[in-house]
């Protein structure tokens, strides 16, 4: 059995109701964080981590994601003809190309839950463990969170690995929460996981963030998973069911995580990126905000 993580799954079928009306015509994943669509950060993170196949679990109303993700040779040719080679090259660098990259789009027509979304990718997943990236969770490195996780992944001790961070007690109901039995540096040994428990029911304050490296058996577990919290097929429940067989570990990544599923998180991520961007330095200083970008000469 290979332990090499060859597949990354991006669940992007959600209708982004929290961002309406901004998401009426534009998928949430394409809203810019500073100057780059949200989903691009997760794609670049997966690419840096060396995955071979990317599977996007999308929705028919969100075809714009496919247009963003895939290379557009005609647009590049137009830019080149207008002397904008730099822009054309930048587009080529970010886009996925059907010839070189292994990219699959599958549709999740109904919002049956994150677990169901991952299950939709089953037939396209390559052998071995799979990575799942939730683009809403923007984790700024370097190093990339998925690269760190893959480097630390050891299927002999735990087949399921989830990114984790500590949250305030009142926030446990927003996350999957680990039942932690031991701590070993950045690894949290766990014997279970609960989806969005109340603070009184939460087994810890160690919350799951949207990066997973999962044993391939997750698909079998999901195929027979009964609906859980919110009436949805929960990825958390299927992971929890596999713990006794494959093991579970939480991993504390070193980057900074932003919840881009919320307005405040989007703004925080934008400001963080702007604070390192020379083009934004003058404006941030004028607004009394800090920046580490150098002053213009």
**Alpha-helical regions (H) of 3-131:** 38-48, 63-69, 73-81, 85-94, 114-120
The distance of closest approach from Cβ of residue 293 to ligand G1P in the complex, given in angstroms and rounded to an integer, is: 30
**71 vs 237, which CB is nearer to ligand G1P?**
237
- DSSP symbol at 294: P
- Residues forming a β-bridge with 140: 256
b/e per residue, 103-130, with b = 16+ CB within 10 A?
bebbebeeebbbbbbbbbbbebbbeebb
Q: Least CB distance from residue 252 to ligand G1P, whole Å?
A: 14
- Kindly state the smallest distance separating residue 163's Cβ from ligand G1P, in Å: 9
Whichever of 235 and 281 has its CB closer to ligand G1P, that residue is 235
Q: How far is the CB of 105 from ligand G1P (least distance, A)?
A: 20
Residue nearest to ligand G1P (CB): 176
How far is residue 208's CA from residue 69's CA, in Å, rounded to a whole number?
A: 27
In whole angstroms, the minimum distance from the beta carbon of 254 to ligand G1P comes to 18
- Where do contacts with ligand G1P occur on this chain (CB under 6 A)? 114, 134, 137, 175-176, 195, 207-210, 235-236, 261
Q: Which two structure tokens, joined as six digits, stand for 6?
A: 């060859």
Q: Which helix (H) or strand (E) holds 225?
A: none
CB of 209 to ligand G1P, least distance (A): 5
Comparing CB distances to ligand G1P, the nearer of 148 and 195 is 195
Contacts of 30 (CB under 8 A, 6+ apart): 37, 38, 39, 64, 65, 68
Reference 107, options 117, 115, 98; nearest CA is 117
Q: CB within 8 A of 196, min separation 6: which ones?
A: 172, 173, 174, 175, 176, 177, 229, 230
Comparing CB distances to ligand G1P, the nearer of 158 and 209 is: 209
| Identity of the residue, 79 or 190, whose beta carbon is nearer to ligand G1P in the bound complex | 190
When the beta carbons of 207 and 274 are compared against ligand G1P, the nearer one is 207
């Amino acid at each position: 059995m290979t332990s090499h993580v060859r597949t990354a799954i991006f669940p992007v079928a959600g209708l982004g109701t929290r961002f309406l009306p901004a998401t009426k015509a534009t998928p949430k994943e394409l809203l810019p964080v500073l100057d780059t669509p949200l989903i691009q950060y997760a794609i670049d993170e997966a690419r840096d981590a060396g995955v071979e196949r990317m599977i996007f679990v999308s929705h028919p109303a969100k075809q714009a994601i496919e247009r963003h993700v895939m290379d557009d040779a005609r647009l590049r040719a137009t830019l080149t003809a207008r002397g904008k080679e730099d822009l054309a090259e930048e587009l080529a660098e970010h886009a996925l190309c059907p010839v070189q990259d292994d990219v699959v789009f599958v549709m999740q027509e109904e919002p049956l839950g994150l677990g169901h979304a991952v299950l939709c990718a089953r037939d396209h997943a390559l052998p071995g463990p799979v990575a799942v990236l939730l683009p809403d969770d923007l984790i700024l490195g370097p190093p990339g969170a998925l690269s760190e996780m893959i480097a630390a992944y050891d299927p002999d001790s735990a087949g399921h690995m989830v990114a984790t961070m500590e949250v305030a007690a009142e926030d446990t109901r927003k996350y999957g929460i680990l039942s932690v039995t031991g701590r070993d540096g950045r690894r949290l040994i766990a014997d279970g996981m609960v989806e969005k428990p109340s603070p009184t029911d939460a087994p810890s304050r160690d919350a799951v963030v949207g990066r997973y490296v999962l044993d391939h058996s997750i698909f079998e577990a999901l195929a027979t998973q009964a609906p859980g919290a919110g009436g949805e097929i929960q990825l958390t429940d299927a992971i929890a069911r596999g713990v006794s067989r494959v093991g579970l570990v939480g991993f504390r990544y070193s980057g900074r995580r932003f919840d881009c599923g919320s307005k405040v998180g989007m703004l925080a991520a934008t400001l963080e990126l702007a604070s390192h961007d020379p083009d934004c330095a003058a404006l941030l200083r004028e607004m009394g905000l800090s920046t580490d970008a150098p002053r213009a000469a």
